Amino acid sequence: MTEKIAIIGFGNIANAIITPLLEKNLIQPENIFCVVKSKKSFENIKKNYKHNINVYESGSEESKIIWDCQVKLLSVKPQHLKDIIEQHNIKIEDNLLVSILAGVSINSLTKTFPNHKCVRVVTNIPITIGKGLTGIAWGKKITEDQKQVTKKLFENTSKIYEFSEDYLDIFLALTSSGPAIIALIIEALSDGGLSGGLPKKLSEELVMEMIIGTISLIKEKKLTTSELKNLVTSPGGTTISALRVLEKKSIRSALIESIVSASNRSKEFS
């Protein structure tokens, strides 16, 4: 990647996207131009980030250079989008803007950044360990080269899916909000083990290993989830007893509604 890339906001996800590209020499540090909102963030990157990228405080005269970059990764919080204002005329035509802002539509991005071709991306926190899921929706008139540049930003750390934009809110609910829901389930199950007398650390380890093993079994044996459930559920046994409790507490409905709620919240940001 020879393009200059501007990073607008440098949180965990932006860090996870850019760092592997630098470590694999797919882009050079001098071609990264990062702008952050606070002096604290600026000083932290300057002091602690292991790659010598260009970094600026938002609103500084020097930070205007980001608008001359061919590619921009927009990774501020959605509620801060209104603070991102172009401060001078764009010199390069057909700039590419890749947004990872939750719920902000391509239409909204295009209105805010009229001199750019906009791409909307949803990715999730496992991207920080190279196990991410990334959904991409293309804006109008995106060229094939711009598509390839966008994919290269994420392909080292994610499995990539290309969608129409209509799918991105539910994709976000499942993949970005999903890890918190899974963490809650792990916590609750391990508390169940704790209630049965297991030490907390051991109970958590058993739950996580059980989940990893279950997923591996489903994938390797090509089982449906119903087939797996039937495989371990015997008449009058412990598993059906546990499942009865979950059904009585409407756990299935609660999980479905949690995803619907997350998706609807994403739409509200638009």
Range of the domain at 189: 178-269
Chosen domain end from 136, 168, 200: 168
Same domain, 62 and 44: yes
pLDDT at 226 over 50: yes
Digit-coded pLDDT (tens) for 78-107? 666 666 655 444 555 678 999 998 888 999
Residue 29 near residue 51 (C-beta atoms within 8 A): yes
What pLDDT is attached to residue 88? 44
Let me know whether 189 and 147 are in one domain.
Answer: no
User: Taking residues 158-173, what's their average pLDDT?
Assistant: 95
Task: Report the percentage of the chain scoring pLDDT > 70.
Answer: 93
Query: 22 with 102, same domain?
Result: yes
Residue 164 sits in the same domain as residue 182: no
Q: Which CATH number fits the domain that encloses residue 55?
A: 3.40.50.720
Do 34 and 12 have their domain in common? Answer: yes
Q: What is the distance between the alpha carbons of residues 153 and 42, in angstroms, rounded to a whole number?
A: 23
Beta bridge partners of 121: 136
pLDDT exceeds cutoff 60 at 185 = yes
Of 54, 120, 71, 115, the residue nearest 89 (C-alpha) = 115
Measured between alpha carbons, how far is 269 from 69 in angstroms, rounded to an integer? 27
Q: Which residue has the higher pLDDT, 270 or 65?
A: 65
Residue 261 shares a structural domain with residue 219:
yes
Confidence class for position 261, pLDDT limits 50, 70, 90:
very high
**Position 192 pLDDT exceeds 50:** yes
pTM for the model: 0.88
Q: Is residue 87 part of a domain?
A: yes
Asked if residue 247 is part of any domain, the answer here is yes
The number of distinct structural domains making up the chain is 2
- Residue 241 included in any domain: yes
- Do residues 182 and 85 share a domain? no
Residues 114 and 229 both lie in one domain: no
Question: Is residue 82 included in any domain, yes or no?
Answer: yes
Same domain, 121 and 9: yes
Neighbour-count burial for 21-49, b at 16+ CB within 10 Å, e otherwise: bbeeeebeeebbbbbbbeeebbeebeeeb
> Is residue 250 a part of any domain in this protein?
yes
Share of the chain above pLDDT 90, in %: 70
The verdict on residue 162 lying in a domain is yes
* CATH number assigned to the domain comprising residue 204: 1.10.3730.10
Residue 25 lies in a domain: yes
Tell which of 120, 147, 168 closes a domain.
168
Task: Give yes or no: residues 27 and 147 share one domain.
Answer: yes
Q: Do the domain assignments include residue 173?
A: no
Return the residue matching tokens 């002096």: 39
Q: Are residues 9 and 138 in the same domain?
A: yes
Instruction: Using the 3D structure, point to which of 150, 168, 186 is the last residue of a domain.
Output: 168
Structure tokens at 62: 């020097």
99 neighbors 121 (Cβ within 8 angstroms): yes
Pair 145, 195 in one domain: no
